Chain A
Amino acid sequence: MLYLGIDVGSVSTNLVLLDHRLNVVEKHYIRTRGNPIKAVQESFRLLEGRYGDEDVAACGTTGSGRQIASVLVGADVVKNEITAHAVAALELDRDVKTIIEIGGQDSKIILLRNGVVSDFAMNTVCAAGTGSFLDRQAERLGIPIEEFGDCALKADIPVRIAGRCAVFAESDMIHKQQMGYNQSDIIMGLCEALVRNYLNNVGKGKDIRPKVFFQGGVAANKSMKIAFERALGFEVTVPEHHKMMGSIGAAILARDAVRKNGHTRFKGFSLAEKRFESKGFECEGCSNHCEVAKIHENGMEIGCFGDRCGKWSNRTMVSHSMAGSL
Chain B
Amino acid sequence: MNAVPRRIQRVLAGISLPVYLLLYAPLSVIAIFSFAPSLGHPGPNVAAYGLLLNDPQVLAALRRSLTLAIGSAILGTMLGTLMGFGLSRFRPAKGGGFWLGTLPSLIIYLPIIMPSLVFGISELIFFNFVHEYTGLLSAGLLTMGIAHVTFQAPYVALVVYARLAGLDPNLFEASQDLYANAVKSFVFLTIPVVRPALIGGFLLAITLSIDDFTISFFTAGPGSVTLPIYIYSAIARKGSSPEINALGSLMIATVIGVALLYYFVTRHRERSNRIPAVA
A and B bind: no
Question: B residues near A, CB below 8 A?
Answer: none
